[in-house]
């Protein structure tokens, strides 16, 4: 299966374990429905799977400070997406990306929409056996070129990324979806 190229956003490099993937503009009501379905699906997951929300930037440090120690969530890390000589601008502009583990499915909706507001955020659901490498990979490169962040070679994952500030979309919202053949959360999305 060929990968999706949603440049300048990034790309999905599909592997043999990918069931379906697409990218398209959507209305906010579609995102609301999908996040609701993911939250419901998380409630039935066993401890073999984890769920993370990756805020891809454009947030202040205070957004992530507020999440640190919040019951039902675990802030894995947050940092500026600026690098090199522009890194000092991080104290002046909202440039924080962050990775938050969702331990309480009822918190997924509010967390996702807070991190996606005027930015991009992704929900990543996958086997807990890949958790350490996933967290480390995103910390090392908080602006990955591949949205699957190493999950493309497996079949038990679901990735839902939303660009909620997309100037090329007539709705302002763009969804990017990749579902593994044995996705831990079963959805019937078109």
Query: Using an 8 Å Cβ cutoff, are 126 and 153 in contact?
Result: no
> Shortest CA distance to 23 belongs to which of 144, 163, 180?
163
Task: Measure CA 9 to chain center.
Answer: 13
At 4, is the pLDDT very low, low, confident or very high (cuts 50, 70, 90)?
very low
At 12, is the pLDDT very low, low, confident or very high (cuts 50, 70, 90)?
low
Helices (H), 6-140: 28-43, 61-67, 108-116, 131-140
Q: Which residues of 87-102 are buried (b: 16+ CB within 10 A; e: fewer)?
A: eeebeeeebbbbbbbb
Query: Using an 8 Å Cβ cutoff, are 20 and 177 in contact?
Result: yes
The β-bridge partners of 100 are 53, 75
Can you tell me the mean pLDDT for 31-35?
98
């Amino acid at each position: 299966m060929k990968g999706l190229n949603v440049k300048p956003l990034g790309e999905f490099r599909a592997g043999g374990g990918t069931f379906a993937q697409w990218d398209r503009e959507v209305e906010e009501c579609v995102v609301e429905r999908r996040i609701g379905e993911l939250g419901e699906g998380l409630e039935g997951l066993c401890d073999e799977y984890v769920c993370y929300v990756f805020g891809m930037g454009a947030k202040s440090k205070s957004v992530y400070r507020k999440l640190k120690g919040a019951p039902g969530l675990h802030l894995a890390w947050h940092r500026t997406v600026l690098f090199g000589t522009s890194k000092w601008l991080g104290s002046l502009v909202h440039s924080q990306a962050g990775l938050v583990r969702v331990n309480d499915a009822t918190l997924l909706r509010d967390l996702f929409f807070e991190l996606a507001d005027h930015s991009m955020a992704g929900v990543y659901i996958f086997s807990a056996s890949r958790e350490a490498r996933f967290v480390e990979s995103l910390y090392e490169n908080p602006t990955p070129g591949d949205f699957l962040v190493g999950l493309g070679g497996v079949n038990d994952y679901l990735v839902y990324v939303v660009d909620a500030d997309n100037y090329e979309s007539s709705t302002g919202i763009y969804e990017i979806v990749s579902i593994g053949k044995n996705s831990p959360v079963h959805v019937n999305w078109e």
